[in-house]
Amino acid sequence: MNSNNMNTPRWRGLALALAAGALLAGCASPNNPRDPLEKFNRATFAFNDTVDRVALKPAATAYKKVLPGFVQTGVGNFFGNLSDAWSGVNNLLQGKGEAGMTDLTRFTLNSTFGIAGILDIASEAGLQKHNEDFGQTLGVWGVPSGPYLMLPLLGPSTIRDTAALPADMWADPWSHKTPVNWRNVGTGVRAVDQRASVLEASNLFEEAALDRYEFIRDGYLQRRESRVFDGDSERADEAKDARDATQAKDDAAADAADAAKAAASDSPASNTQVTPEPASTETETQRK
């Protein structure tokens, strides 16, 4: 059973995340309150799309055609198993003890009897796979998602999820693999495998979506919110109401500041010119 995560590939890279953050100044756009960085994000999306069309998608297409299905399943299972340990830790940090122990049990079972995770015997045994990361944990702890952010090569994110990247990257066992050339090869294989897993869906999406950027943005934000609240629509609605209330408060404060500024500039006092009194030329002797 292939337990490969069906998300759009998000390769972890602290350096790229920090570089993206450094480019945000001056890119604000007021069109969407959740996407004030749309100008920057669209430019990054165009760059990512070019990389995908030129390199990643052709590699994924060849990978899917050449390698037998059982090999692709084994690759997906192997890397999916590596994520189970960190997923279990995040479930425990979120207070979901049963789910956390399930993930840790999955990791232990597949890493041993499943031949380093190549065989997903935990799923066959009925142990449900979860996909939890530190960004979701921060969301459960009440940290707001912040603006939408498209990262170079890494794909869709938010300010909160970008801040969580260093922890997710450090907790990935493959990031500590030695020698480095094995680590790099494995990272490339993982990226191609993940892209191959969504190849057919992405082809349909490319044909159907009128504005692919907006489609990806809105879908990502909706799905991340659903994952943070585990599909609990009531909690998601409460978060949305709180976000809307904060936005309304900020808008009201901005309107009040603009009104006060306009009133100050139009007040009679601000237009009155004080004429200084002429200096007296009468001498002290004349006054006497």
Report d(CA 193, CA 157) in Å as an integer: 21
Distances (CA, A) of 115 to 67, 102, 111: 20, 19, 6
63 touches 193 (CB < 8 A):
yes
Q: Helix, strand or coil for residue 132? A: coil
pTM > 0.75: yes or no: no
Specify the pLDDT at position 276: 53
Q: What is the pLDDT of residue 281?
A: 47
- CA neighbor of 229 nearest in space, from 156, 288, 158, 142: 142
Report the SS3 class of residue 150: strand
* Per-residue model confidence (pLDDT) at position 207: 75
Residue 150, strand partner residues: 156
Mean pLDDT by groups of 10 residues along the chain of 288 residues:
44 43 44 92 97 96 96 96 97 97 97 96 96 96 96 96 97 95 96 93 75 92 93 60 59 71 66 52 47
